[in-house]
Amino acid sequence: MVIAALLSKVLPRSEPVELFNVAFENPRQAKLRDAEPFAVPDRKTGIDGWHELRRCDPEREWRFVEVDVPYAQVVEHSARIRRLLLPASTVMDMSIGMAIWFASRGRGRLVGAADGEPPRREYAGCARVLLLGMGADEQFGGYSRHRSAWDRGGWELLGREIDLDVQRIASRNLGRDDRVVSDNAKEARYPFLATNVVRLLSGTPLDRKMDMRYPRGVGDKLLLRLLAHRLGLVNASTRPKRAIQFGARTAKMESGQTKGQDSL
């Protein structure tokens, strides 16, 4: 949301911003819930976010694209995605990589925004460069393990955990994500990991970036939430973090017994 709002300040007015929102048909979840298969948590917050961006900048054309992935497509493409992940090879890598691969493919349904437009129509994205939010959780304390570190050892242990995440993000995440995106002939860019942004955040006191004395949805990513609020994204600024594999429901498709760190 922050990246989209900032992009709208620098992009020429004639250019639209495409927002790709991915949702998966999860057969295990379907057994538990008698609901529309693509009514995943990230779909609701995505649509809410789209409306908020339109209110903040009504002159911009915001294209919200619903990327719905039936389980049959998961089965069809899973072997290809698994090869792209290597040497990353855990259940969590697969859950995240699958969501990024289908989102970066950019095929879905465009949601109508104006009176007289069809409510939804088939759409293929035009963007060749994708702006992704990787690096925000690592630098702003967005993961549950950061709050656990705070609970165990206060500022000192939290700081060590943040430093570790920043140091290992390139080897742990970015190669995987870049391979998955580039397979769809797209270029991935990571604004939160730009050199000047990382340098600024590395020199910012820890308690200015996060404060785990506040509850979830406030203290985690505190500085980023304040920026979102200043940009007019009031609703987005208070949303709790939700991991992509749970928001899009790529996790635990066949079994509820698997763990993220398990090998494929």
Residue 178 CA to residue 161 CA, distance in Å, equals: 24
Asked whether the bond before 58 is cis by omega within 30 degrees of 0, the reply is no
Predicted local distance difference test score (pLDDT) of residue 37: 86
Q: Which domains does the chain carry?
A: 2-241 (3.40.50.620)
pLDDT category at 196 given cuts 50, 70, 90 is: very high
Question: 């190669």: which residue's tokens?
Answer: 175
* 146 contacts 212 by C-beta, under 8 angstroms: yes
Q: Is the pLDDT of residue 134 over 80?
A: yes
Predicted local distance difference test score (pLDDT) of residue 146: 96
Q: Are β-strands 120-124 and 107-111 bridged in parallel, bridged antiparallel, or unpaired?
A: antiparallel
Angle, helices 2-10 vs 222-230, to 10°: value is 40
Q: Is the pLDDT of residue 32 over 80?
A: no
Extract the tokens encoding 112. Answer: 């109508």
Q: Is the pLDDT of residue 13 over 70?
A: yes
Q: How many helices (H) and strands (E) does the chain have?
A: 12, 6
- Which residue type sits at 166? V
Predicted local distance difference test score (pLDDT) of residue 73: 96
What percentage of residues in the chain have a pLDDT greater than 70?
A: 95
Q: Is the pLDDT of residue 30 over 80?
A: no
Q: Is the pLDDT of residue 126 over 80?
A: yes
What percentage of residues in the chain have a pLDDT greater than 90?
A: 80
Question: 């705070």: which residue's tokens?
Answer: 150
Q: What is the pTM of this model?
A: 0.90
Provide the 10 A C-beta neighbour count for residue 134. Answer: 18
Residue 13 CA to residue 247 CA, distance in Å, equals: 31
Mean pLDDT computed over 20-37: 82
pLDDT category at 6 given cuts 50, 70, 90 is: very high
pLDDT category at 251 given cuts 50, 70, 90 is: confident
Q: Is the pLDDT of residue 33 over 80?
A: no
Residue 61 CA to residue 252 CA, distance in Å, equals: 36
Helix (H) or strand (E) holding 208: helix 206-209
Mean pLDDT computed over 191-218: 96
Task: Find the range with the poorest average confidence among 22-31, 65-74, 124-133.
Answer: 22-31
Residue 80 CA to residue 130 CA, distance in Å, equals: 21
Mean pLDDT computed over 96-112: 95
Q: Is the pLDDT of residue 27 over 90?
A: no
Extract the tokens encoding 11. Answer: 């992009």
Mean pLDDT computed over 52-77: 96
* Average pLDDT over all residues of the chain: 92
Predicted local distance difference test score (pLDDT) of residue 68: 96
pLDDT category at 209 given cuts 50, 70, 90 is: very high
Task: Find the range with the poorest average confidence among 61-65, 103-107, 113-117.
Answer: 113-117
Extract the tokens encoding 150. Answer: 């705070």
Half-sphere exposure of 169 (CA within 13 A, CB side): 16
Predicted local distance difference test score (pLDDT) of residue 117: 72
Predicted local distance difference test score (pLDDT) of residue 28: 79
Backbone dihedral angles phi then psi of residue 61, each to the nearest 5 degrees: -90, 110
Predicted local distance difference test score (pLDDT) of residue 256: 64
